[in-house]
Structure 1
Amino acid sequence: MAIASIVGFWTLYFAILTTRALVIYQDHAGTGSRAIVSIASVMITILFYLALRWIGTTKLWTSIIVAAVLAAPAAISYAAINWYVFSHSWVQPQPRRVVVMAGEGGPGTGHAPTMITVGKMSSDDNMAPVTAIADQAANGYFFFVCWAALYLALCYAAEIGALERRAAALKRAAQSAELRALRYQVNPHFLFNTLNSLSSLVMTDRKAAAERMIVNLSTFFRNSLTADPTEDVPLDDEIRLQQLYLDIEAERFPERLAVRIDVDEDVRKACVPGLILQPLVENAVKHGVSRARTPVTLRIRAYREGVNLVVLVDNDGDTRGVAPAQGTGVGLRNVRERLAARFGDEAKASWATIPGGGFAVRLEMPLIHNDC
């Protein structure tokens, strides 16, 4: 980056001065000299850059001061080379002849024209070497300060970009770790209650039901713990996993839990964040089914609404008059945050109690049919 900026800077310098000389003064002779000065200036600027990097500092104002100090010897070197090359150039500009009519009357008056030779005009022609070098060094100092400003700006822009990328990577890593923690977090009450129910089935010699529960429990944990928590899954797979969970809970509440799942065909392959429905279904069982005194229907519905996928999870458990279950709302907030992290403002999560008893959650997200 630094070398490219140096070469680009002095190439632009050469192009501007050469174009100016050609257009204004029709001066072709000085092009080679300017090329030599430009190449020498590139070498001086590289040394300038190496000195800046060797001194090194992380503070902007310190870097500016160091660059301002180092620009002085660089400018003097540039001016000395510039003076030497142009004062000892092997290609001297050819003098130009201008015809000036002497006397009055012009042609036919008997007065011959006078030829005046005019050489290349230069403000340095009558200057002593030290004065000429000092004068050119003032201009050169401006050049080197400009390049240093460009270099420091590029360095700090690159540093800021690197910090932003590092922060984004850390944010993604933290989010991934959080998602994995949520994926691998097993509700201890669910596992404890499931094992208790399994023990009861075994003790009452209900082998078929016990075997079914073991198979469902094993499948549920295998599917929920092996998939990558940061990837999307087809809605069909997510619904199937929740069905396993509800089959296990149905063994605990055989007379109280009824499950209805209604998913439109055109959204079954839609991509959704993995286990996005798990906290909602767990809450429905914990706060609705387990506390209700009458049968509860837990419904999962999914359908298309414009360009969005809508998923509803609700239950009609009447828990009025029953002591409320302890809850922190972490599961619902987590679902909302995961949708926001995945889809931004395009996704929404809302919930509300149902008049007459029950609770409903509505998820809305972009309808995506990629290979997930």
Structure 2
Amino acid sequence: MINWQKLFEDRERLFWTLHIGGWAGFALIYYVGSFLHDMRAVWIFVIVLNAIAGCLISIPLRYIYRKVATFQPLLVLFSVLLSCFLISLLWQVLKNLHVWEIYKHGWRPDEWYYYFNGAVNSFFILMCWTGLYFGIKNYQLLQKEKQNALKSSAMAHQAHIKMLRYQLNPHFLFNTLNAISTLILVKENQTAEQMVSRLSDFLRYSLDKDPIKKVPLEQEVQALGLYLDIEKVRFDERLDVQWKVDDGTSKALVPSLILQPLVENAIKYAISKMEQGGVICIAARLFGRDLLLEVADNGPGADIVNGQLHRTNGVGLTNIQERLHSLYGQDYSFVVSHNDPTGVKVSIRIPYELIDNG
């Protein structure tokens, strides 16, 4: 079976396939048109010779057209017409010689200009060849430009997603390093060592995971657990975390570190504002054919208008929505609402996808 895609991508193979196939088609059409003229083997032989001559003599046109392609438009047109005309004269001479030598057994005309008799038809046929050549060449150039544009767009799209994913809030690192410094000063070396280890594991996860690819929810939960373990050292008993992750969602694919900025927001604007601390609830469940992710807190709440959070210096919400849009187009939802009885709840709905093991 012919692989048409590879054929069209290989310009050299495509040219020779179409070139030889086109001249074979010319011979066949000439043969069919000869039913009313002559069906003897000698005439068929002349047709085949004419097609072979046309096939060979038109090859130089390809290299001439390549050479003149960089000229000015009018000069290109003049060069193409002149080249095609001269080649058609030469082809017509060969065709006439085939007829006179083979079909008419050595007959010669008295006038020299009879050698070019019928050159207009030859010129027309070679102009058709020329039109097909430039048409296919321009189509290939357009396809290549389209592929380059798509490739550039895909690379820009991937770079955009990576940029969004790697915009981790520096406050988290500063706070963590300050906490580690404090632990060292008060001689809590074992706790400081555990905190450094968790920070290392969390950063390794955030840098190792390709932002273009999605990860199983269980990996995301594990990384989020590392982050929360670090924060618990800072907040101690003031931070209470509740997990409500359904068993059927552990293998679902989600964008890496999609929940961490939401939890960070909850800590910054809820837990840190409450003297007695508060609760963060992280939930995941199936919702029809979608996966529903929720992060809720019982903090003081915030101004919410049309499902959007109005808060100055917010951490990562716009970032998250841009990432979701880049990965899922319009097939997602991102809603911020008031939690019951107090606080803020962020809900993300994305398509339910599993790892393709095939």
Q: Which residue of 2 aligns with 1:339?
A: 324
When normalised by structure 2's length, the TM-score is 0.81
Count residues with an aligned counterpart. Answer: 334
Deviation at 1:241, TM superposition (A): 0.5
Residue deviations 1:115-135 (CA, integer Å, cap 9, x gap)? xxxxxxxxxx9996625734x
**Secondary structure of the structure 1 residue equivalent to 2:199:** helix
Contact 1:287-1:325 at 8 Å conserved across structures: no
In structure 2, what is the Cα distance between the partners aligned to 1:196 and 1:145?
79
**Secondary structure of the structure 1 residue equivalent to 2:279:** strand
**Secondary structure of the structure 2 residue equivalent to 1:148:** helix
In structure 2, what is the Cα distance between the partners aligned to 1:127 and 1:340?
80
**Secondary structure of the structure 1 residue equivalent to 2:172:** helix
Residue deviations 1:193-217 (CA, integer Å, cap 9, x gap)? 1112222333334444333322211
2:39 aligned to which of 9, 27, 35: 27
Deviation at 1:337, TM superposition (A): 3.4
AA partner of residue 200 (structure 1): T
Q: Which residue of 2 aligns with 1:353?
A: 337
In structure 1, what is the Cα distance between the partners aligned to 2:348 and 2:52?
69
Q: Which residue of 2 aligns with 1:363?
A: 349
Q: Which residue of 2 aligns with 1:39?
A: 52
Comparing 332-341 and 299-308, the one that deviates more: 332-341
Contact 2:324-2:332 at 8 Å conserved across structures: yes
2:230 aligned to which of 243, 248, 252: 248
AA partner of residue 256 (structure 1): R
Does residue 1:227 correspond to 2:209, yes or no?
yes
**Secondary structure of the structure 1 residue equivalent to 2:347:** strand
Change (3 A) 1:187 1:340: closer
Change (3 A) 1:60 1:259: farther
Structure 1 runs of 4+ with >6 Å offset: 58-62
Residue deviations 1:19-50 (CA, integer Å, cap 9, x gap)? 2213x345233111111111111112101111
In structure 1, what is the Cα distance between the partners aligned to 2:329 and 2:24?
46
**Secondary structure of the structure 2 residue equivalent to 1:369:** coil
Change (3 A) 1:285 1:262: same
Contact 2:297-2:344 at 8 Å conserved across structures: yes
Structure 1 stretches of 5 or more lacking a match?
93-124
Does residue 1:2 correspond to 2:19, yes or no?
no
Deviation at 1:144, TM superposition (A): 1.6
In structure 1, what is the Cα distance between the partners aligned to 2:214 and 2:178?
33
In structure 2, what is the Cα distance between the partners aligned to 1:60 and 1:265?
68
Q: Name the % identity.
A: 28
1:213 aligned to which of 182, 195, 199: 195
In structure 2, what is the Cα distance between the partners aligned to 1:188 and 1:83?
84
Write the mapping of 1:196-345 to structure 2, written as runs, cut at 5 A.
196-292=178-274, 295-319=277-301, 326-327=312-313, 331-345=316-330
Q: Which residue of 2 aligns with 1:77?
A: 90
Change (3 A) 1:339 1:128: farther
Residue deviations 1:264-320 (CA, integer Å, cap 9, x gap)? 212201222222323333333333333455633222211222322222223232146
In structure 1, what is the Cα distance between the partners aligned to 2:104 and 2:266?
93
In structure 1, what is the Cα distance between the partners aligned to 2:209 and 2:138?
41
Deviation at 1:154, TM superposition (A): 1.5
In structure 2, what is the Cα distance between the partners aligned to 1:371 and 1:61?
58
Select the structure of larger CA radius of gyration.
Answer: 1
AA partner of residue 295 (structure 2): V
Change (3 A) 1:328 1:360: closer
Q: Which residue of 2 aligns with 1:130?
A: 113
Change (3 A) 1:246 1:88: same
**Secondary structure of the structure 2 residue equivalent to 1:361:** strand
In structure 2, what is the Cα distance between the partners aligned to 1:172 and 1:283?
31
Structure 2 stretches of 5 or more lacking a match?
1-13, 304-309
**Secondary structure of the structure 2 residue equivalent to 1:210:** helix
In structure 2, what is the Cα distance between the partners aligned to 1:203 and 1:17?
97
**Secondary structure of the structure 2 residue equivalent to 1:317:** coil
Change (3 A) 1:337 1:216: same
RMSD: 3.0
In structure 1, what is the Cα distance between the partners aligned to 2:261 and 2:74?
53
In structure 2, what is the Cα distance between the partners aligned to 1:267 and 1:196?
36
Residue deviations 1:342-364 (CA, integer Å, cap 9, x gap)? 3444x313122316431413131
**Secondary structure of the structure 1 residue equivalent to 2:191:** helix
**Secondary structure of the structure 1 residue equivalent to 2:355:** coil
**Secondary structure of the structure 2 residue equivalent to 1:27:** coil
Residue deviations 1:226-252 (CA, integer Å, cap 9, x gap)? 233332221100111011111212222
AA partner of residue 68 (structure 1): L
